[in-house]
Amino acid sequence: MTVNLLDYDREGLTQYLSDIGEKPFRARQLLKWIHQSGTADFAGMSDLAKSLRGKLSSVARIEAPRVMRDHVSADGTRKWLLSVGEQNGIESVFIPEANRGTLCVSSQVGCALACTFCSTGRQGFNRNLSVAEIIGQLWLANNALRESAAENPMVSGQNGQDQRAVTNVVMMGMGEPLANFENVVTALNLMLDDHAYGLSRRRVTVSTSGLIPALDRLRERCPVALAVSLHAPNNALRDVLVPINKKYPLKELMAACRRYLTAAPRDFITFEYVMLAGVNDSMMHAKELIGLVKDVPCKFNLIPFNGFPNSGFERSSSETIRVFRDILMQADIVTTVRKTRGDDIAAACGQLAGQVRDKTRRTINVNAKQAVMETMR
């Protein structure tokens, strides 16, 4: 079996090259070919010695997941369903905007944390993605976007920006990135490496439901922009919506956020808050939130709930969301409402389902909202 070079960041590639008797500085050249040119074929790597190209083609490969489906939404959002073997599939989503292009990347096949309102959580969990499967999503997206730009050069290049290139990455696809810590950090290293994707730390965001020990390790190993999925202002409600809260409750989570900010590339944490009608969206909830986050420099991103079959939840009305936002804003907390993008192709937040062969055999709670209400009584 050959070695997949997409599995290595610069350090790993340097080590690998030295293991096969090559000079370490070749790592930089190889990274550029692989990640900047998007090459999968060693033969075309013209500044590498022919002998090295020959050797690499016999012992190594550059292999991203296989594209099974490629959907484009009416609003330009693009979603890829990627095969990762054994009938498992993951999804990544590209969201083009006027001055940036954001790729939403998956980190696991499914998710074991089972948040009640999340389609990925309902699918169960199969396994962590490898580094190649994580960074391969960015590799594939860049190649696909380059191809589209070449086919239709008119659309790109407005204001000097190619609107169809990936300029930002958010680890907000399927899975909990901090539950796949080592592979995610290696993939982040590649995103940040000037010889690979060269994205700034501010343009790479990890979103987590709050795995505190891993959050501390991320701060030490690879601080990037951070989004924390809050979704409730108190433990009683968060225990039900985000079950990992029972292990890592809110007070500890707020303290971890403050610690994170000592090393973070941005001076605030983004709190994500899904707006669930009649569950977490009252004025009381908003006021309670203000108290909760009072010591954490933060911004709020309210996410109108995106439905999926049998979710049991409904989206808060736009009026309710507006009132909720205004209460936070009056307390000087910058609050935005996330635009729903790509929901016609089930590419919006929380709709990613891919294909997960569940190994957890969890009993699926089809009436999650009722369960939430019962605990609140």
Q: Tell me if 176 contacts ligand SAH by CB under 6 A.
A: yes
Residues in 40-79 that interact with ligand SAH by CB under 6 A:
none
Q: What is the DSSP letter of 372?
A: H
CA angle 240, 305, 370 (to 5 degrees): 40
Residue whose beta carbon is closest to ligand SF4: 121
Query: Which positions from 309 to 348 touch ligand SF4 by CB under 6 A, shown as an x/- string?
Result: ----------------------------------------
Query: What does the DSSP assignment read for 206-263?
Result: EEES--HHHHHHHHHH---EEEEE---SSHHHHHHHSGGGGTS-HHHHHHHHHHHHTT
Residues binding ligand SAH: number (CB under 6 A): 17
| Residue from 31, 62, 118, 237 in contact with ligand SF4 (CB under 6 A) | 118
Residue 341's DSSP bridge partners are: none
The closest of 227, 143, 134, 137 to 187, measured between CA atoms, is 134
Give the whole-angstrom CA distance, residue 66 versus residue 82.
Answer: 5
114 binds, among ligand SAH, ligand SF4, none (CB under 5 to 8 A by kind): ligand SF4
* 91: contact with ligand SF4 by CB under 6 A: no
Total residues at the site for ligand SF4 (CB under 6 A)?
A: 11
Among the listed residues 91, 133, 176, 272, the single catalytic one is 91
Between CA 342 and CA 351 the distance in angstroms is: 10
Give, as ranges, the residues between 293 and 352 that touch ligand SAH (CB under 6 A).
303, 305-306, 349-350
- Pick from 7, 133, 272, 281 the residue near ligand SAH by CB under 6 A: 272
Q: Which is nearer to ligand SAH, 63 or 216 (CB)?
A: 216
- The DSSP secondary structure of 62-119, one letter per residue, reads --PPEEEEEEE-TTS-EEEEEE-STT-EEEEEEEE-SS-EEEE---EEE-SS--TT-H
Which tokens is 181 given? Answer: 């810590």
Q: Is the CB of residue 307 less than 8 Å from the CB of residue 343?
A: no
Is the CB of 113 or the CB of 368 nearer to ligand SF4?
Answer: 113
Which partner from the list ligand SAH, ligand SF4, none does 272 bind, CB cut-off 5 to 8 Å by kind? ligand SAH
281 binds ligand SAH (CB under 6 A): no
Distance CA 23, CA 207 (A): 37
Binding mask 86-115 for ligand SAH (x = CB under 6 A): -----------------------------x
Nearest to ligand SF4 of 229, 335 (CB atom): 229
Taken in order 303, 371, 115, 376, is the CA torsion positive or negative?
Answer: positive
- Told to judge if 91 belongs to the known catalytic residues of this protein, a careful annotator would answer yes
Answer yes or no: are the C-beta atoms of 296 and 269 closer than 8 Å.
yes
Residue 238 structure tokens: 């968060």
Lay out the site mask for ligand SAH across 214-253 (x = CB under 6 A, - = otherwise). ---------------x------------------------
Per-residue tokens: 129? 């993605």
Q: Is 63 a catalytic residue?
A: no
Which residues, 200 to 259, sit near ligand SF4 by CB under 6 A? 209, 229
Spatial distance between the Cα atoms of 253 and 230, rounded to a whole number of angstroms: 10
Q: Is 331 helix (H, G, I), strand (E, B) or coil?
A: coil
Contacting residues toward ligand SF4, per CB under 6 A: 111, 113-115, 118, 120-121, 175-176, 209, 229
Contacting residues toward ligand SAH, per CB under 6 A: 115, 117-119, 172, 176, 207-209, 229, 272, 274, 303, 305-306, 349-350
Catalytic residues, by residue number, are 91, 349
